[in-house]
Structure 1
Amino acid sequence: MSTYKIGIVVGSLRKESINRQLAQAVAKLLPPDFSAEFIEIGDLPLYNQDLDGNQPAVVGAFKQHIEQQHGIIFVTPEYNRSIPGVLKNAIDHGSRPYGQNSWSGKAVGIMGTSSGAPATSMAQQHLRNTLVFCNMPALNQPEAYIQWRDGMIDAEDKFNERTGSFMQNWVDAYVAWVKKNAA
């Protein structure tokens, strides 16, 4: 395979989201045979099973973007010890209607950042529970619970040396995971 396509889903809609900044910096660490595409979730309507037979066009386009990827990286903040509702909404849209799960089989990586010491550990655990049901094989190690610190990422979306070393290790493990699962 010449190029692996990775979809990046950020679970925050905030314009200055630190999780979006993390995702942008991680995308720059991917090797040349990997391309990253940010899959936006803010325009999706609230999931309603009544629409499964006649999904809005934005949902169909969203599902197509997912299906074109070899892997997905979820970058999530933690809201009230779980994932944001907008992220759960996107996962629900991608997995429905029953039997048309666009997420199935996609090699997944999970990370997130927060200013608190436990970072996004609870949200990531909740996300893992959901992704098991969606049949997404998740990278287990290394885990990436990143405590946000000023200066961690510069204006060019590059990590400082300490964080960059850890994140490159995570990216290398994820790349191997995608190659293993895409075979």
Structure 2
Amino acid sequence: MSQYQIAVIVGSLRKESFNRQLAHALIKLAPAQVQFKEVAIGELPLYNQDADGHEVAVVKQFRDAIRSADAVLFVTPEYNRSMPGVLKNALDQGSRPYGHSVWDGKPAAVIGMSVGAIGTALAQQHLRNVLAYLNMPTLGQPEMFLQAKEGFFNADGSVGEQSRAFLQKFVELFAGWVAQHKR
């Protein structure tokens, strides 16, 4: 079986965010054929069409990292009933200049965690709308609207026993999705 490189984009800048912890826990659950690599978005400047064609180095590096990945895993919090601005900015930076999107055709999956009972359902729906426009085939099931609760993470950052099988299944289904949709 082929080896797949999956870019992980965390939609939170906070160092100790639940979603960053979740991303790191998911990386630990990766099957042998999958290699996850977090791609930072915090240093990207706000997208400005005037920069098209003469982007700063950090934008070029970001685009190269996404371009070289076989797929993308988005791990997002929910801010004000939507995705964080920093995540939308990263999507915009990768989609430009027009006709040169690094997202086009890349398989994707979406997951998120919040202290609220509905997890990140609304942020994920907004994100999925953008991913559909960007032509990213996105894993539909299982939907992963996780609530941060005591015991979800172990002291070492791994997923607690009650949630491990559920998340392991998600990671394995995503690996299969990537294999099915990889160009």
TM-score strictly above 0.5: yes
The yes-or-no answer on 1:113 pairing with 2:113 is yes
Could you tell me which residue of structure 2 aligns to residue 166 of structure 1? 166
Mapping for residues 50-61 of structure 1, pairs under 5 Å: 50-61=50-61
Mapping for residues 36-51 of structure 1, pairs under 5 Å: 36-51=36-51
Letter in structure 1 aligned against 2:72: I
Could you tell me which residue of structure 2 aligns to residue 8 of structure 1? 8
> Quick one: distance in 2 between partners of 1:59 and 1:155?
35
SS in 2 for 1:54: coil
Could you tell me which residue of structure 2 aligns to residue 146 of structure 1? 146
Could you tell me which residue of structure 1 aligns to residue 156 of structure 2? 156
Deviation sequence 1:119-139 (CA, Å, 0-9, x none) = 100000000000111110000
Mapping for residues 8-157 of structure 1, pairs under 5 Å: 8-157=8-157
Structure 1 gap segments, 5+ residues each? none
Deviation for aligned residue 1:28 = 0.9
Deviation for aligned residue 1:42 = 0.3
* TM-score of the aligned structures, taking structure 2 as reference length: 0.97
Letter in structure 2 aligned against 1:151: G
* TM-score of the aligned structures, taking structure 1 as reference length: 0.97
Letter in structure 2 aligned against 1:82: S
Deviation for aligned residue 1:101 = 0.3
Structure 2 gap segments, 5+ residues each? none
> Quick one: distance in 2 between partners of 1:30 and 1:70?
15
Deviation for aligned residue 1:172 = 1.3
Deviation for aligned residue 1:162 = 1.4
SS in 1 for 2:72: strand
> Quick one: distance in 2 between partners of 1:82 and 1:108?
18
How many residues in Structure 1 have an aligned counterpart in Structure 2?
Answer: 183
> Quick one: distance in 2 between partners of 1:89 and 1:50?
15
After the TM superposition, list the runs of 4 or more consecutive aligned residues in structure 1 that deviate by more than 2 angstroms: none
Deviation for aligned residue 1:155 = 2.9
SS in 2 for 1:53: coil
Letter in structure 2 aligned against 1:149: K
